[in-house]
Amino acid sequence: MNTDVVRLAAVSAEPLDADAVLRLLDDDAAGGVVLFVGRVRDHDQGRDVETLEYTAHPSAVDRLREVCARVADDFDVHAVAAVHRIGRLRIGDAAVVVATAAAHRGQAFEASRALIDTLKAEVPIWKDQHFSDGEREWVGTP
């Protein structure tokens, strides 16, 4: 595994700092750095969302490290970082930040897309959506 390329793989109850993630990927050989910030939006499938609450399984950090390492192995990147927020989030809060650095932009875009898609599919983090009508819905649970 290409774990030396993985600069960050974390789950955090604290607000996420995209600039801090970018600083971790600083590399003079990287001509392209792609950053994705997933934010809490005010709607889902036509329903008004008030807040979200993310919960992570105890294995989530290890699984996230595995996903980051796999992306580092599968793509020609210099650096990879991912951090997902847990706890109660409001509209506009950053829920996830992923970033990759590579020699060229195309490599960085492809790696970042694979990183967020694989994270969402494989890392055991679940979302409890609270709607304005008082109802709730769990998303991503097994």
pLDDT digit string (tens) for 38-49? 999 999 999 999
pLDDT digits (tens, 9 = 90+) for 5-21: 999 999 999 999 999 99
Provide the whole-model pTM: 0.94
Q: Which pLDDT score is estimated for 3? A: 58
In a domain, 94, yes or no: yes
C-alpha 31/C-alpha 6 separation (Å) is 18
Which tokens is 30 given?
């990287």
In a domain, 84, yes or no: yes
In a domain, 142, yes or no: no
DSSP-H helix ranges across 9-126: 18-24, 60-74, 105-122
* Nearest CA-CA partner of 67 in 120, 139, 11: 120
Q: What's at 69, amino acid-wise? A: A
Q: What is the dihedral of CA 85, 87, 92, 94, to 10 degrees?
A: -10
In a domain, 103, yes or no: yes
CATH of the domain at 93: 3.90.1170.40
- Exposed/middle/buried for residue 23 (C-beta within 10 Å: 0-12, 13-18, 19+): exposed
Q: Which pLDDT score is estimated for 142? A: 72
Number of separate domains in the chain: 1
In a domain, 139, yes or no: no
pLDDT digits (tens, 9 = 90+) for 53-83: 999 999 999 999 999 999 999 999 999 999 9
In a domain, 53, yes or no: yes
Q: Which pLDDT score is estimated for 2? A: 60
- Domain, as residue range, for 24: 3-132
Which tokens is 125 given?
């983090």
CA dihedral sign of residues 7, 11, 12, 17: positive
52 versus 2: the higher-pLDDT residue is 52
- Residue-averaged pLDDT of the chain: 95
